[in-house]
A and B are shown apart, each in its own frame.
Chain A
């Protein structure tokens, strides 16, 4: 199954998922359109849809083969008509503009060298002072384009050219929870202790993922994040990782 409706390409991903895709770009307009479709489909609470996963330029719908389709159906025809209905509903809805009002989530980061494992190295490699790196990292709002790798890990962008740095070739065995990192155009926060290759420039005292079903992930795709610098005393005061 592979079809085109306006700017959308819709294709089957194996036998239990379908993908709605726009142009493959890291782009704010594209992710907000993806999120409009995400909200629209989630709000419809359609039988048989198990998951609805936005990421950059795609929205992937995972379905249950037994319950998603009506009794008598042609698989391909049904998926095409489903895709058509969703895109038509999106074009007649106002959710696109509603979404735009997403609030900015402010996230404190302590850039102290005790936490910022790669900051000195980045400063010498990029030939830019530590103070400038911090200033640049906190200067703009980032959009969440994707969540994955581990529960709650948000891929945010776009990082300013001057502080972009590739992942370590050999990942660290253990990156502490709350570590704030850079990987190419992306910045993100490790929600729990984990192996990882991102360039670590600081740590947030905020819990990014909480298994409590009422809380779960702090960020959703489409959210806007702004980092602000705090010192170590403030970090200790705000530290949500203390048991």
Chain B
């Protein structure tokens, strides 16, 4: 029972919530770039929320199904096709033996998810199927144990959830919220104002390790040397040239650049879905608010 890659994509991979518990050995957590869209795909198919899922970028891989499966595509809209006929996003889709899934063009977002109803049978490493830098290769076959669950979700509730997720992940007018980090106090006065008032854009140098930004040059009062310490997904690191890089899923475990702040969990999927060239603004928030926003989204995924 397997799903085969018949055409290799640019950088598609299998991801889950990531590999935690080993960062003290330098092992990166990795995991889904847009965890909310990944949850949505798994939720619609009644999988475990953090079940391994295909993460796709454009141009995407083509998949050949060796039997009937129920699949669901969430996240970015790359116009998914089954045998050249377009299919709905955020909807359980029945595919048949020898069907081929491909993606036509990137309409919205940067990262799409392909969830398969059932359970991945590939071996995990250190309790996770997310691997840093391991992309899907041509002819690779991925095994799934298919499960069929008896009842569907309440259609009305699911529709409501899809709208909420879309608003959270694809409203690119909304600012990207962050909490100030240890080097925040070292920014000069002009930079403190520019980071929250000026517009930044995502540069073409953006991948699963980090997104480089272009925008106003930021400067520190005392260009300190910092001893390396742990960074997280969403850390805003100030490079010596005055530009920011935001660390993403495949980030290294420690970093030695000035750590100005971290994007909050609930806004990371929206940030991850922004294409290169997309303008946006940052805004400050607080820890209590960040947790409340996270719970507001997470609570929606209760079975």
Contacts and interface: CB of A to CB of B under 8 A. Distances in A.
Nearest to A24: B227
B98 interface: no
A101 B220 CA distance: 41
B228 A13 contact: no
Contact of A19 (B229, B255, B287): B229
A62 B252 contact: no
Contacts of B263: 14
Contacts of A150: 26, 252
Contacts of A56: 227-229
Nearest to A213: B126
A79 B288 CA distance: 11
B252 A148 contact: yes
A76 B261 CA distance: 18
A25 B227 CA distance: 8
A75 to B, nearest CB: 5
Contacts of B22: 51, 151, 216
A69 B253 CA distance: 24
Nearest to A61: B230
Identify the interface centre among B125, B265, B287: most chain A CB within 10 Å of its CB.
Answer: B287
Interface residues of A, number: 47
A11 B24 contact: no
A195 to B, nearest CB: 13
Nearest to B288: A75
A148 B265 contact: no
Interface in A72-94: 74-76
A53 interface: yes
Contacts of A155: 228
Contacts, number: 133
A159 B72 CA distance: 55
A54 B227 CA distance: 12
A33 interface: no
Contact of B232 (A14, A26, A74): A14
Nearest to B179: A14
B290 interface: yes
B232 A17 contact: yes
A237 B27 CA distance: 29
Contacts of B252: 148-150
Contacts of A146: 228, 254
Contact of A16 (B23, B178, B228, B265): B265
A74 B286 CA distance: 13
A13 B182 contact: yes
Contacts of A66: 295, 298
B235 interface: yes
Interface of B: 20-29, 125-126, 178-179, 181-182, 226-230, 232, 234-235, 252-255, 259, 261-265, 287-288, 290-291, 294-295, 298
Interface of A: 1, 11-17, 19, 21, 24-26, 38, 50-58, 60, 62, 65-66, 69, 74-76, 146-153, 155, 209, 211, 213, 216-217, 220-221
**10 A-B pairs closest in CB distance:** A14-B262, A148-B254, A60-B230, A15-B290, A50-B20, A53-B230, A56-B227, A217-B25, A58-B229, A51-B23
5 contacts: A15-B262, A15-B264, A151-B25, A211-B125, A216-B27
